[in-house]
Structures are given as C-alpha cells and as structure tokens.
C-alpha cells in the first residue's frame, strides 16, 4: 500500500506520517516513511539553492527515480506500507504554481513513479501554515504567502478531479487530523478486502 501525504509547507505532513507509521506498526504491519525531496544527490541539490521551475522539476524527477528504485518499490514488493511525506502531487502544485503545465508534470511523474493508493491532502490556510513554519525556525524559498496561496489552489483543483485525493482539514488538532486519516485508510482497506473476497 502506498499512501501519499500532501499539502503546503506547515500543514503537518511529517507529524501525520510519523503517527501513521506507528499506527500500522502497532497492528503488526511494517511501514516505511519516504520523505521527498530525498537524500539522493539531486534531492540535496534542489534543497540548496534557487532554480527555474523547469530545472527544479528535473531535479525532483531524478530524485524521485532514485526513491522509487531504492525505497518505494522494494518496500511495496515485500508487502509493506510506504508513507510518502510529499510525493509527485507536490510537483504538480508547486511547479504548476510557477507556470508549468500541470498535465505535463503529472505525465512525466507517472512514467517513473507508481500511483498512490490514497493521497491525504492536508488543507490549511497559507496564513496559518506560514505562522507554523515561522515557529519551527527557518522558512525555505517555497514558503512565501502569495506563492503558497497559488499552490493551495492547485492542490484543491487536483483534489476535485482525482478520486485518490481525500481532503483533511489540517487546521484542526493533531488528534482530529490523525483520526480523519485513519478513517480514510480503514475505509480504503475494507473496500479493498471486500473486493478481494
């Protein structure tokens, strides 16, 4: 099972990923968190400095190829759960907000990366997210308010056309966000189990 957690910076993706990993493991299911950008040379480069939207996308794609080959597919082939702390939906929203074709970004990614079973979109106002990011320290170049507003709009646009994407109100408490995520995962698992029987 492949779960992607998406949302703008400060929405709570990393917190939720850790809680979901523990939830699966408490039930005897091995779960791995894969964070993007990853630790490949491309992932490190994209975090270090500014690039054009096209260059950024190419770096993310190269980094994702490494993640897919070395982490995602090996874990899925063992029957484990992979929890993505960001996935290619972030490319669609972030580089799309810089003017690239969202359809083209999607096609390029789906050529190299497996589609997730579920996308948990943590939706939160950019103002609140920027406030959260400031509390935890240094903001990155991706965390400008006007830009995040465009990114959020694109995430919501994607959610309106992609049945894999489930929106969770990330302005609620960590506990409520976690409970919403579990409800979505349990619904997915029960549907999948009933279709297998």
Instruction: List helix spans (H) across 27-144.
Output: 41-48, 53-67, 73-77, 88-96, 102-112, 126-135
Q: In what order do the strands lie in the sheet with 81-85?
A: 31-35, 81-85, 2-6, 118-123, 165-169
pTM: 0.93
How far is the C-alpha of 58 from the C-alpha of 112, rounded, in Å? 12
Question: The tokens of 101 are what?
Answer: 């074709």
Q: Looking only at Cα atoms, what is the longest distance across the chain? A: 51
Domain ranges of the chain: 2-196
Q: For domain 2-196, give its CATH number from 3.40.50.10300, 3.40.50.300, 3.20.20.10, 3.30.365.10.
A: 3.40.50.300
Q: Render pLDDT for 30-86 as a digit per residue (tens, 0 to 9).
A: 999 999 999 999 999 998 888 899 999 999 999 999 999 999 999 999 999 999 999
What average pLDDT is seen over the chain?
A: 92
Q: What is the dihedral of CA 172, 154, 23, 15, to 10 degrees?
A: -60
Q: Render pLDDT for 99-119 as a digit per residue (tens, 0 to 9).
A: 999 999 999 999 999 999 999
């Amino acid at each position: 099972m492949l779960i992607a957690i998406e949302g703008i910076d400060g929405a709570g993706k990393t917190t939720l990923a850790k809680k979901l990993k523990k939830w699966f493991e408490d039930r005897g299911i091995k779960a791995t968190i894969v964070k993007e950008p990853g630790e490949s040379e491309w992932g490190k480069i994209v975090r270090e400095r500014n690039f054009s939207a096209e260059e950024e996308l190419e770096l993310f794609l190269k980094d994702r190829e490494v993640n897919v080959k070395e982490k995602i597919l090996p874990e899925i082939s063992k029957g484990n759960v992979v929890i993505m702390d960001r996935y290619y939906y972030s490319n669609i929203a972030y580089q799309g907000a810089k003017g690239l074709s969202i359809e083209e970004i999607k096609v390029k990614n789906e050529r190299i990366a497996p589609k997730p079973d579920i996308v948990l979109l943590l939706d939160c106002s950019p103002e609140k997210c920027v406030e959260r990011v400031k509390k935890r320290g240094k903001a990155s170049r991706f965390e400008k308010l006007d830009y995040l507003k465009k990114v959020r709009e694109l995430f919501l646009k994607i959610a309106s056309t992609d049945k894999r994407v489930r929106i969770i109100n990330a302005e609620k408490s960590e506990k409520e966000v976690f409970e919403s995520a579990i409800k979505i995962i349990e619904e997915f698992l029960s549907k999948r189990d009933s279709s297998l029987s």
